[in-house]
Amino acid sequence: MFTGSLLAVLAVLPLLAEAASSSPSRIWPWTRTPQEKRQTKALGAVLAGQQDLSTYYSLIKQYPDILLQLPNFAGVTLIAPSNEAFNNSHEWNPDNATLVTNLLQYHILTGTVNTAALVAGPSTLQRTLLTNKAYTNVSSGQNVVVAKQHDDLTVLTSGLGTRSTIIEPDIAFTGGFIQMVDTLLIPPVRLEITARDAYKELTAFLGALYSTGLAEEISNMPNITILAPRNTAFQSISSSLSALSESSLRDVLKYHIIPNNVIPSSGFLNGTTLSPLLGKESKIFITQIGNNLYFNRAQMLQADILLANGVLHMIDNVLSQNASDTRPDEESKTQPPVFAQTGLTSTGTRHPVPYTSFLPCTTEGCPVSTSTTESSLTAKTTVVSTRSSSALAGRVTGLGMAVVGMGMGMGVMGVV
């Protein structure tokens, strides 16, 4: 049965969408002809006719207030997981109002995304309705990475590198599109979890943040962009880094953080500069050579890794604020590090990954005492926040414990 509020929303949505269609804020340059507008149906009718979206439709009916946000935008895109996608999400609880509401908000894009109009190749970041500060620290709305592949499939990437393929594209309704996907989107989580569990090539960078006391500060900072060197970058200059004082290492790490600006890979422009957290009038210079993007002379290796508080881009070398004038050699396939390579560092990856000893142990990795139940529990929870439940909600962003409670098979814990 429809609730009264849902009926009201679905009834007026076509009129509201028509009124908003002339707004210049549409994300994708696509408009319907008058004939196409007459042929599209209201959202409720379209969802009712999609058998593979019956679980999603039941959630929309159960939580109709979600749709009350739609008229604020000139067109929307609903990312609708198929019934099988929900079935594959073990321990899914549709009666968990907090979880479902925030998850549905993360599945609504603030603009009409028509896959037929996308160009294969570069990815883009698309904003969602998820703005609840308890679950995201991106003020304008948490993002989803949208990329059309050369095989004509469109893939959405969400938290922890979760990939969702659009299996039924461009289901039109009056006011936008429905994109049916094969996997639920996962709201991005904190840097500590993302780097430790999903992108293990970033454990040296994360460990270095812990060693200097910066990990929590960076993870709590809203709207940031991180340029994070991979493990081999730290391995190759380990001796040079170990000679730095803690204060000097902090400065090096802060040079990799861009505050107050969530910058997608598509937002880096050749010949421009970035202003890092380090301050002191420091700059990072951007150079593009062909399809390759460089920061000073460190090359971007993997772009648009989503975090609860922004976005991270993996690079191949550690940056130095004292070498901001370095530029890539166009004739060279690889760029040398700006820090000196001495001793064991000349062997590259044969050197142990530095700073990983500073990583807090996890439930699986902590030593467990067998003497008493109490000591065992203490060992297993030493890195769990001991603040109040309200503080924990703010720290474990990206749905944190709630997502874990869904049994998504992600193997993450709400720990720092």
Output the pLDDT for position 364.
Answer: 56
Output the pLDDT for position 304.
Answer: 98
Output the pLDDT for position 166.
Answer: 98
How confident is the chain (416 residues) per 10-residue block, as mean pLDDT?
36 36 38 51 93 96 84 79 92 86 95 92 93 94 96 96 97 94 97 96 98 97 98 94 96 98 96 94 95 96 98 98 94 90 56 93 53 27 26 36 39 32
Which tokens is 411 given? 């193997």
Output the pLDDT for position 170.
Answer: 97
Output the pLDDT for position 415.
Answer: 35
> Are the beta carbons of 173 and 41 closer than 8 angstroms?
yes
Buried b (16+ CB within 10 A) or exposed e, 151-180: eeebebbbbbebebebbebbbbbbbbbbbb
Q: Which residue has the tokens 């999609």?
A: 50
Domain coordinates in residue numbering, the chain: 4-181, 191-358
Query: 191-358 in CATH: which number?
Result: 2.30.180.10
- Beta-bridged to residue 125, according to DSSP, are 145
- Beta-bridged to residue 176, according to DSSP, are 76, 173
Q: What does the alpha-carbon distance between residue 347 and residue 344 come to, in Å, rounded to a whole number?
A: 6
Output the pLDDT for position 6.
Answer: 36
Cα 323–Cα 328–Cα 331 angle in degrees, nearest 5 = 145
> Are the beta carbons of 194 and 210 closer than 8 angstroms?
no
Q: Which pTM value belongs to this model? A: 0.81
Task: Name the amino acid, one letter, at 367.
Answer: P
Residue ranges in 186-311 assigned as alpha helix (H): 191-193, 203-211, 215-220, 231-236, 238-242, 246-254
CA torsion 56→61→63→66, rounded to 10°?
A: 80
Up-side HSE of residue 91: CA atoms within 13 Å toward CB? 10
Q: Which residue has the tokens 């849902």?
A: 6
Domain 4-181 and domain 191-358 have a common topology? yes
Right CATH number for 4-181 from 3.40.50.280, 3.90.1150.10, 2.30.180.10, 2.170.150.20?
2.30.180.10
> Are the beta carbons of 232 and 298 closer than 8 angstroms?
no
DSSP state of 198: I
Closest of 27, 47, 63 to residue 140, by C-alpha: 27
Output the pLDDT for position 65.
Answer: 86
DSSP state of 119: P
> Are the beta carbons of 52 and 82 closer than 8 angstroms?
yes
- CA 272 from chain center: how many Å? 24
Return the percent helix, strand and coil in the chain, to nearest 5.
Answer: 35, 20, 45
> Are the beta carbons of 184 and 300 closer than 8 angstroms?
no
Which tokens is 186 given? 């996962």
Output the pLDDT for position 121.
Answer: 86
Q: What does the alpha-carbon distance between residue 158 and residue 183 come to, in Å, rounded to a whole number?
A: 10
Q: Which residue has the tokens 């474990």?
A: 396
Q: What is the DSSP string of 307-367?
A: ETTEEEEEESS---GGGTT----TT-SS---SSPP-GGGGGGGGSPPTTGGGSPP-TTTS-
Output the pLDDT for position 321.
Answer: 95
Q: What does the alpha-carbon distance between residue 142 and residue 130 come to, in Å, rounded to a whole number?
A: 6
> Are the beta carbons of 354 and 233 closer than 8 angstroms?
no
Output the pLDDT for position 366.
Answer: 56
- 34: three-class secondary structure by DSSP: helix
